[in-house]
Amino acid sequence: MRTKSLFCAAAAFAACVLSLAGPYQASAAPNAVFGREELFTLNSGNISALKSSGFTTVILFVVDVESNGDLNYNGDHLIVSNGSYIGDSGWPSRLAALKTPPSSIVRLEVCTGGAGAPSWTNIKNLIASQGTGSGSILYRNFQTLKNTLGIDAICNDDEVQFDSGSAAQFNNMISSLGMKNTLCPYNNPGYWQSVFQNSRIDRIYLQCYDGGAGNDPGTWSGYFGGFPVDPGDWNSDSQSTVRSKMSSWGNEGVKGGFMWQLELMGDGNLAGYAQSVYDGIGFRGNANFRVTCKNSGLVLDAAGAGTGNGTAIDQWYYNGQQNQEWYPNFLGGNQYEMIGVQSGRVLDIGGANTSNNYPVELWDWNSGNNQRFTFTENGGNFFTPIFVHDGKALTVYGGSTSAGTGVVQYDYNGGTNAQWSFGPL
């Protein structure tokens, strides 16, 4: 991050459909927020505001890597040393509460680096002396960070060292630990290209404010062979300005966005800023999503992990399997097909039936209007898929909140059982 703002939005990608340049393909786009000290103290009000905000990804800024490999949060909280967690004993449970349903938060990241920070220099030197094997201090400390705090990804925000070889080695170690890597550039595209080409990169957050003001996500996407690059803004802009900027960037294929900084926005403004990001970008397909029903918190699921024609669609607890991954493929004219990632088949109404409560199923794509959707926005990243052939909505039968309840078509009446969020995996 720049000193003034200190910072770092999301890449999205369909593994089974697209093939972009780069060694790794990312999951669906988030609406992310960076924060500092408030993400450490996390009182009940902070937790409640974040869970109801509409942001899907929380990024902890910043974990500094010290010269001996110790990990320090926000400059004044030593949290990991010699492979052991030595931080506040209550912090892990406070962080875990952010993702406890019902919550819009599904992912926690840690950002490393920032303006003037020596972390990436220390990482380079530690790799030169110890490597990145299971006995190295970097491996042991970041393994502890993951296991203790439930961290899903590490965000690269190198603004000092710019040594792509050691950065790639570090990222590959992070991948081996079961975490994802994200990039947070604002300048020096050649360096970030090299890191991208030699690492497994899940998302790219582009700073488009302060030192990154004037950055264009479309231009930066070109640096990475078309890999989506998503922009961030800061609370110095009003919500209406954020919405306007995200709208202009959204025309360049952007699928997500982020905001800096949590504490400066205030709990009461989080939902408004999250909504401004969503409103500006609008619905974006062409990525793999977890599709969650607002009413139940359960996800859209191909029943029994079935892949054949006629497989029923229901709602179920999220389990990370591909029968719960969906790819809304843009067809033009504001219409999409909804492809099941596991099966390659689409959501379908058999025989183009127009009756309420008719069950939704998987079927081979045949381009019929009974396989095409438009999306009605409901606010807060909730959308209602509407079948083109009859104008009925993708709906959980009877408003049930039980796992295994079938998904049907029904006249849309504003019910939350027909409102779905399209979130990261």
Judge whether 61 and 115 are in contact, CB under 8 Å: no
CA angle (6 as vertex; 244, 271 as ends), nearest 5: 45
pLDDT range class, residue 283, cuts 50, 70, 90: low
CATH classification at residue 259 = 3.20.20.80
Report the predicted TM-score, pTM, of the whole model to 2 decimal places.
0.74
Instruction: Assess whether 296 and 276 both reside in one domain.
Output: no
Q: Is residue 7 a part of any domain in this protein? A: no
User: Are 273 and 393 found together in one domain?
Assistant: no
Residue 114 lies in a domain: yes
Task: Say if 223 falls within a structural domain.
Answer: yes
Cβ-contact 143, 171 below 8 angstroms? no
HSE-CB at 364 with a 13 A cutoff on CA atoms is: 1
Q: Do residues 305 and 320 lie in contact, with contact meaning Cβ atoms separated by under 8 Å? A: no
User: How many Å apart are CA 336 and CA 282, to the nearest integer?
Assistant: 14
Q: Is residue 367 very low, low, confident or very high in pLDDT (cuts 50, 70, 90)? A: very high
Say yes or no: 221 and 83 in one domain.
yes
Return d(Cα 207, Cα 217) in angstroms, integer.
9
Question: pLDDT grade, residue 268 (50/70/90)?
Answer: very high
Looking at the structure, do residues 161 and 58 belong to the same domain, yes or no? yes
Q: SS3 for the chain, per residue?
A: CCCCCCCCCCCCCCCCCCCCCCCCCCCCCCEEEEECCHHHHCCHHHHHHHHCCCCCEEEEECEEECCCCCEEECCCEEEEECCEECCCCCHHHHHHHHCCCCCCCCEEEEEEEECCCCHHHHHHHHHHHHCCCCCCHHHHHHHHHHHHHCCCEEEEEECCCCCHHHHHHHHHHHHHCCCEEEECCCCCHHHHHHHHHCCCEEEEEEECCHHHCCCCHHHHHHHCCCCCCEEEEECCCCHHHHHHHHHHHHCCCCCCEEEECHHHHCHHHHHHHHHHHHHHHCCCCCCCEEEEECCCCCEEEEHHHCCCCCCEEEEECCCCCHHHCEEEEEEECCEEEEEECCCCCEEEEHHHCCCCCEEEEEECCCCCHHHCEEEEEEECCEEEEEECCCCCEEEEHHHCCCCCCEEEEECCCCCHHHCEEEECC
Alpha-carbon distances of 414 from 152, 377, 390, 405, rounded to whole Å: 34, 11, 17, 19
Q: Are residues 68 and 190 in the same domain?
A: yes
Rounded to 5°, the CA angle 79-73-37 comes to 125
Q: Is residue 14 part of a domain?
A: no
Task: Output the six-digit token pair for 273.
Answer: 């800023």
Q: Which structural domain range is residue 410 located in?
A: 290-423
Distances (CA, A) of 273 to 7, 238, 292: 17, 9, 21
Mean pLDDT over the full length of the chain: 89
pLDDT of residue 264: 94
Whether residues 67 and 89 fall in one domain: yes
Same domain, yes or no: 294 and 275 = no
Establish if 218 belongs to a structural domain. Answer: yes
Confidence band, pLDDT 50/70/90 cuts, at residue 1: low
Q: How confident is the model at residue 11 (pLDDT cuts 50, 70, 90)?
A: very low
* Mean pLDDT across 305-312: 98
pLDDT beyond 80 at 381: no
The token pair at 363 is: 């079927």
Whether 15 is covered by a domain: the verdict is no
* pLDDT score at 288: 86
Average pLDDT for 127-154: 98
Q: 7-16, 141-150, 412-421 — which is least confidently predicted?
A: 7-16
Which backbone phi and psi does 300 adopt, to 5 degrees? -65, 130
Q: Which residue in 285, 320, 303 sits closest to 397, CA to CA?
A: 303
Residues 134 and 194 in one domain: yes
- Given phi > 0 = left and psi -120 to 50 = alpha, else beta, which region is 383? beta
On the question of pLDDT at 24 being above 60, the answer is: no
pLDDT at 425: 72
Q: Note whether 272 and 299 are same-domain residues.
A: no
CATH number for position 298? 2.80.10.50
Number of domains in the chain: 2
Residue 21 scores a pLDDT above 50? no
Let me know whether 413 and 323 are in one domain. Answer: yes
d(CA 231, CA 228): 10
